Amino acid sequence: MATSAHPPFDANLVRKDFPILRELVNGRPLIWLDNAATTQKPQVVIDRLSYFYQHENSNIHRAAHELAARATDAYEGARETVRRFINAPSVNNIVFVRGTTEAINLVAKTWGRKHLGEGDEIIVTNLEHHANIVPWQQLCQETGAKLKVVPVDDSGQVLLDEYQKLLTSRTKLVSFTQVSNALGTVTPAREMIAMAHAAGAKVLLDGAQSVSHMRTDVQQLDCDFLVFSGHKIFGPTGIGALYGKPEVLDDMPAWQGGGNMIQDVTFEKTVYHGAPAKFEAGTGNIADAVGMGAALEYVERLGIENIARYEHELLEYATAALNKVPGIRLIGTAQNKASVLSFNLHGYKSEEVGAALNQEGIAVRSGHHCAQPILRRFGVETTVRPSLAFYNTYGEIDILQSALLRLASAKR
C-alpha cells in the first residue's frame, strides 16, 4: 500500500498535551475556538514555568552565584530558541518585550522618533490590528509624518497596485501584518517587503497571528523588524519578541533607561550596552521568556509544516461547513487565509451568537477584534470570530456548525 509522504496530523493525540482542553464549560467539553485572542498552553510549558520557579529562580546577569547562572542560562537559552525559530542570524537580534504591542511601540518610540520627520510617510494596510495603527498615529502627531493606508479588495486581500502607488521616496516605513486577526487574510509579505525596500523604506512585519501557523524565516522574508507575542503561540502572556536586523537595531536609540541596559553610569553620562540588552531595561519577564522558549520548542517538535497543512485542511472544512448555515455572511474570503473565520448571522447580534455558543461550551470572540477599520471596510462594527489551532478537530467544527444551524433555524 502506498504510504502518504505526510502521515496525518493526529489532533486528538496532540490535544492530550493541553490539560485545559479537558475542562467542561456549561456541562459540555470545552471547544476552544478563540485562538486568535490567545492560545492554550501545553503541559510542557506549564511544567517549564514551574521548574524554573522550583530550581532556577534568580535575577539574571548580575549576581555570580549558582542560581543566577541557571536563570541566565535558561533566559539566554530561550533567546537562542527564538533566534532558531525565526532563523535570525544572531541572538543579538532578539529583544524580549511584553508582546507585539510593546514591540511596535518600542520601534515607534526609538527608530521612529529618530528617523521620521515632517512630510515623511508611514504605510500600513487596512487590515491592521489597533496595535499596528495607534503607535504610528501617535508618532505622526509628534513628528508631522503622515500615515497612509493600503486598501484591500472585497475578499480582504491587499491591493498591490494601490500599495505600489503609495510607495514613494517619502515612505520611511511600511508596517503590516502577515495574517489579519479579524479576517485571516495572509498578506503577500515577501513581495510587499521587496516592494518597500525598492522604494528605500524599512519594514516592520507583525507576526502576532502568523508565527503559530506558518514557517517564519526573517532572512528569507528580509523584513527589518518582526514582532510577535508568546501567548499567541502556546506560551505565556506578558512576553514576546522583537527581531531587528543588526544594523537597524544598532542605529536605534535606547528606549527605557535603567538597570541591565548600561555599561557604565556616572551622573554626567551613561554608556549603553549594544542590542539586545540596550532595549531590556530593568528586570525582565524571565520565567515567561523561558516558558515561551519551551512553547516554541514544542511547536518545533510538532513541525510547523505539519501544523500548517493540518490547519489549512481544517480551515477549508470549517469554511464549507459555515457556508452551509443559512443567513451566514463570511467576512474575509481571500484565497490565502489562515486560522480565522469571521462572520455575521442574519437576525443576531455578534454577542448573541457568542453567548449562545458559550452555552454549548464553545469559546469564540465576538466584537471588533481590535481591528475596527477593517470591519468598517466591510460595513460592519462587529463579527463572530472562531479561530483555529492545531488542537481543534473536525468533530468540533461539526458541533459549531450544528449550534449555528439551530440558531439560524430559530429565526426562520
Residue 315 or 325 having the CB closest to ligand PLP: 315
Exposed e or buried b per residue across 277-311, where buried means at least 16 C-beta atoms within 10 angstroms of its C-beta: bbbbbeebbbbbbbbbbbbbbbbeebebebbbebb
CA dist 3 and 238 (Å) reads: 43
Residue 72 or 100 having the CB closest to ligand PLP: 100
- 276 lines the binding site for ligand PLP (CB under 6 A): no
Helix (H) or strand (E) run with residue 174 in it:
strand 171-177
Task: Please count the other Cβ atoms lying within 10 Å of the Cβ belonging to residue 337.
Answer: 23
C-alpha cell belonging to residue 263: 555599561
Active site residue 370: yes
- 212 lines the binding site for ligand PLP (CB under 6 A): no
CA dist 95 and 109 (Å) reads: 15
CA dist 284 and 59 (Å) reads: 9
> What is the DSSP secondary structure assignment for residue 277, as one 8-state letter?
G
Residue in 72, 93, 100, 175 binding ligand PLP, rule: CB under 6 A: 100
Residues 180 and 332: beta-carbon distance below 8 Å: yes
Residue 132 or 216 having the CB closest to ligand PLP: 132
- 181 lines the binding site for ligand PLP (CB under 6 A): yes
Of residues 160, 370, 380, 405, which has the active-site annotation?
Answer: 370
- 101 lines the binding site for ligand PLP (CB under 6 A): yes
Q: Closest distance between ligand PLP and the C-beta of residue 406, in Å?
A: 30
**Bridge-partner residues for 243, per DSSP?**
94, 226
Residue in 35, 58, 81, 209 binding ligand PLP, rule: CB under 6 A: 209
CA dist 95 and 241 (Å) reads: 6
- 213 lines the binding site for ligand PLP (CB under 6 A): no
- 129 lines the binding site for ligand PLP (CB under 6 A): yes
- 383 lines the binding site for ligand PLP (CB under 6 A): no
Site mask for ligand PLP (CB under 6 A), range 214-253, x = bound? ---------------x------------------------
- 177 lines the binding site for ligand PLP (CB under 6 A): yes
Active site (catalytic) residues: 370
Binding residues for ligand PLP, rule: CB under 6 A, are: 99-101, 129, 131-132, 177, 181, 206, 208-209, 229, 370
